[in-house]
Amino acid sequence: MVSTRQLLTIPPGDPLSLDNQAVAARLDEVGNLLEGQGANPYRARAYHRAAETIRGLQTPLSEILHTEGLSGLTELPGIGDSIARSIQHLLATGELPILKRLRAGRRPAGDAVLATVPGVGRKTAARIHLELGIATLTDLEIAAYDGRLAGLPGMGAKRLRAIRESLAGRFRRKPSVRSITAPQPEWQPAVAELLSIDDEYRRKATAGQLLQVAPSRFNPAGEAWLPILHARREGRRYTAMYSNTSRAHELGMTHDWVVIFREGAGDHGQWTVITSHHGPMKGQRVVRGREGECEAHYAS
């Protein structure tokens, strides 16, 4: 018996004729092609898990979208925001952009963009693209600070610093001197300062007042959904953005967890602000690892 995952070539069709089985088959094809191209295994598994969920549904996806919107899809096991939007696009147009790109084998374009950065080179660009799912300079800069790029074999401190400085020059801002592993610094800003940045970021992101970038990681539809905030407090410069880690996607927290970077010499650092779901601060925003200070802050 031939499994559904082995049916790799599925012709495009009228979106109205796409039932759950057809959608699941396309998602499985994406997973198979990602595996065949040596992409991040997590990305491939995510598509296969989504396909398995859809294949077991009794209700048509089109009906779920019509009655519940995207939230109806993201509430299903194994379907995150990016895959839900891909499904929505597929049902509306009959096409899946990532599948079209993978079928055409169009991966070198992203490699070529990354290879223009001093310190990267063609071989490293291909490895970054395959292992980290990165295809844009914006994504490369984020990975240079969140630890993913530092985790690649052969990516030493000097090389990583050169990449950061080059990207900072392209984006016309001073590079951070944060350490590769981003340890918590001895100097710590007050939790009130971090919480105020978190509040400003979430308010402006909700109001659509921030520049949004399209991260390649966990974003198969290529949607520009990640807002970026650059803020100052008492002369200190910060950058804030929603977490785009695999854990955040797994738990559905990509629009709750906010990562804040301090950009400056001597007192740089990184903090994550989340919504507490238990204890005396349930429902409050909390700086992870500094819960005691946050409790005192709210009590005062």
Region 183-206: mean pLDDT is 84
Q: Give the list of residues 6+ apart from residue 206 with CB closer than 8 angstroms, or none.
A: none
Region 268-285: mean pLDDT is 86
User: How far apart are the C-alpha atoms of 288 and 271, rounded to whole Å?
Assistant: 7
pLDDT of res. 126: 77
pLDDT of res. 151: 75
Please name which of 149, 153, 155 lies closest in space to residue 134, comparing C-alpha atoms.
149
Provide, rounded to the nearest whole percent, the portion of the chain with pLDDT above 90.
16
pLDDT of res. 105: 61
Tens-digit pLDDT profile for residues 61-70:
988 888 888 8
Provide, rounded to the nearest whole percent, the portion of the chain with pLDDT above 70.
79
> What is residue 56's DSSP assignment?
T
- Average per-residue pLDDT in the chain? 78
Listed range (88-102, 158-172, 201-215) with the worst mean pLDDT = 158-172
User: How far apart are the C-alpha atoms of 105 and 99, rounded to whole Å?
Assistant: 10
Of residues 16 and 113, more confidently modeled: 113
Distances (CA, A) of 242 to 83, 169, 232, 254, 257: 18, 24, 18, 6, 6
pLDDT of res. 91: 87
CB distance 128 to 161 below 8 Å: no
Tens-digit pLDDT profile for residues 18-53:
889 999 989 988 888 877 666 667 778 888 899 999
pLDDT of res. 193: 94
pLDDT of res. 40: 64
Strand partners for 226: 213
Listed range (37-46, 153-162, 196-205) with the worst mean pLDDT = 37-46
pLDDT of res. 192: 94
CB distance 55 to 27 below 8 Å: no
- Domains of the chain, earliest start first: 4-104 (1.10.150.110), 108-170 (1.10.150.20), 191-299 (no CATH)
Of residues 293 and 269, more confidently modeled: 293
pLDDT of res. 185: 45
pLDDT of res. 203: 95
Above 90 in pLDDT, residue 165?
Answer: no
